[in-house]
Amino acid sequence: MKKSFVKIISIGLLSFLLVSCGKNDTYDQSMQKAKEAINEEKFEEAESFVDLALESRPKEEEAKNYQKQIQSYNKAMAFKKKKETKNAVIKLDEVIKVKEGSIQLVEYAKKEKEKLAEEKDNSKKENQKDKKPKKDKETRDTLWNTSKADKLREFMVGFSQAMDQDYKEYNPSQNVDLYGIKLPNVVLNGEWKMAVNEQEVQLEWSETGEGNKPYQLVAVYSDADTQPYLKKHVYFFVFENGTPKVFVTQQNQGNDKNYLYFNETQNADIKNGFTQIVNGGQAAKMPEKSSTKEYKDNKLLAAKVLVKQIESHGGNPNDAIANSPDTTCSLMKKSSMEIWTTGVYLPEDVTVISGNPLAAGLFTYHNNGDGTVTMYPVPSHYQDKDWDDPELGKQMAQEVIANKKVVDISNVSDEMASKMATIIENDI
Residue-wise pLDDT tens digits, 381-410: 888 888 999 999 999 999 999 898 888 898
Own/partner pairs, 192-198, CB within 8 angstroms, 24+ separation = 192/258, 192/259, 192/260, 193/257, 193/258, 193/259, 193/260, 194/236, 194/247, 194/259, 194/260, 194/262, 195/257, 195/259, 195/260, 195/261, 195/262, 196/247, 196/261, 196/262, 196/263, 196/264, 197/263, 198/261
- Predicted confidence at residue 161, as pLDDT, reads 86
Q: In 164-298, which ranges are continuous DSSP H helix?
A: 185-188, 268-278
Distance CA 258, CA 254 (A): 6
What is the model's pTM? 0.40
Give the residue, 287 or 331, on which the prediction is more confident: 331
Domain ranges of the chain: 6-10+290-421, 144-163+165-287
Give the residue, 181 or 138, on which the prediction is more confident: 181
pLDDT band of residue 130 (cuts 50, 70, 90) is low
Interval 274-288 mean pLDDT: 76
- Predicted confidence at residue 296, as pLDDT, reads 80
Q: Quick check: 316 pLDDT over 50?
A: yes
Interval 264-274 mean pLDDT: 86
pLDDT band of residue 207 (cuts 50, 70, 90) is very high
Residues above pLDDT 90, as percent of the chain: 40
Interval 190-207 mean pLDDT: 93
Reported as a single tens digit per residue, the pLDDT across 1-19 is: 433 333 333 323 323 332 3
